[in-house]
């Protein structure tokens, strides 16, 4: 494992002060590199709209391109299995859970009536495509979310500043961020900040070669997932060590 960093990149702690908590669909936290990549994507999309040029949308069929993030890179296995030097979110001052909220949805009969010329007398709420749903929503309730990284503190701060909420069900008020705080840790071990949570457990997906170099690290086991954003894209899937389950 070799860390490749550009001028001005230092070990960082990124801290999001949360209003209440964050909702997530996977057992581990939101990745910092994924957050930065989607922000760059949004900015590019907005710029394309203003300039009136076409923007290639995210597609499951195409191999995703790697955006240039203001983070150092870990060479990983040195054979295409590289990753950004940043962890997934780790909760600080957590209120012990599990916290599970349920949300429900039912189709709007009046709206369906307006959209369809031949609506059956009764659209069942119990079966079929338009049934009512009750879905569980796991929450992590904590004061702060913390990420560790090696990167350019100013560029990272600029990208994160406009992000007001993260995670799932943001429209319902979940994942609201009160403020972002970025601190430099000049003397910290960069390979530790590129991989590990503050408690020393594995803080991100990593190839076996990284674990080999990090020594005796607690992980969340092995699985098929990405090493870089977009993490859930089929083309990104490979055998990786999973982060310790720090959330929920």
Applying CB under 5 A, the residues found at the interface with Zn ion are 1, 74, 76, 206, 210
* Least distance from Zn ion to the Cβ atom of residue 75, Å: 7
Torsion sign, CA atoms 144, 145, 149, 155: negative
SS3 (DSSP) at 240: strand
The two three-digit tokens of residue 156, written as one number: 């990272």
> By C-alpha distance, which of 143, 162, 168 is closest to 36?
162
Cis amide bond preceding 230, omega within 30: yes
Nearest CB to Zn ion, comparing residues 177 and 227: 227
Cis amide bond preceding 98, omega within 30: yes
* Least distance from Zn ion to the Cβ atom of residue 219, Å: 13
Contact of 111 with 173, CB cutoff 8 Å: no
* Least distance from Zn ion to the Cβ atom of residue 180, Å: 25
Residue 55 CA to its chain's centroid (Å): 23
Nearest CB to Zn ion, comparing residues 101 and 209: 209
* Least distance from Zn ion to the Cβ atom of residue 3, Å: 8
Residues paired with 17 in a beta bridge = 144, 179
Nearest CB to Zn ion, comparing residues 23 and 74: 74
Nearest CB to Zn ion, comparing residues 157 and 188: 188
* Least distance from Zn ion to the Cβ atom of residue 82, Å: 8
Nearest CB to Zn ion, comparing residues 196 and 210: 210
* Least distance from Zn ion to the Cβ atom of residue 234, Å: 22
Residues paired with 206 in a beta bridge = 241
Q: What is the DSSP letter of 176?
A: B
Nearest CB to Zn ion, comparing residues 17 and 218: 218
Q: Between vectors from CA 165 to CA 162 and to CA 167, what angle results, nearest 5°?
A: 130
Return d(Cα 246, Cα 224) in angstroms, integer.
Answer: 18
């Amino acid at each position: 494992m070799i860390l490749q960093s550009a001028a001005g990149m230092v070990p960082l702690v990124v801290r999001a002060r949360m209003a209440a908590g964050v909702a997530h669909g996977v057992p581990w936290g939101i990745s910092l590199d994924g957050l930065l990549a989607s922000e760059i994507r949004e900015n590019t999309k907005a710029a394309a709209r203003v300039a009136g040029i076409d923007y290639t949308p995210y597609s499951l069929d195409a191999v995703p391109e790697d955006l240039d993030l203001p983070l150092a890179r870990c060479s990983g296995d040195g054979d295409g299995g590289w990753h950004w030097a940043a962890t997934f979110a780790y909760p600080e001052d957590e209120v012990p859970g599990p916290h599970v909220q349920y949300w429900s949805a039912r189709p709007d009969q009046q709206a369906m009536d307006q959209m369809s010329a031949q609506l059956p007398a009764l659209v069942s709420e119990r079966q079929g495509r338009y049934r009512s749903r009750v879905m569980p929503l796991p929450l992590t309730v904590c004061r702060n979310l913390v990420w560790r990284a090696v990167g350019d503190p100013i560029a990272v701060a600029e990208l994160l500043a406009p992000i007001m909420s993260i995670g799932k069900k943001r429209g319902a008020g979940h994942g609201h961020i009160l403020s972002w705080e970025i601190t430099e840790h000049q003397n910290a071990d960069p390979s530790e900040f590129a991989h590990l949570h503050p408690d020393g457990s594995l803080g991100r997906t990593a190839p076996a070669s990284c674990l080999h170099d990090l020594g005796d690290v607690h992980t969340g086991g092995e699985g098929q997932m990405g090493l870089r954003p977009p993490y859930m894209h089929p083309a990104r899937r490979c055998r990786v060590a999973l982060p310790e389950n720090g959330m929920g």
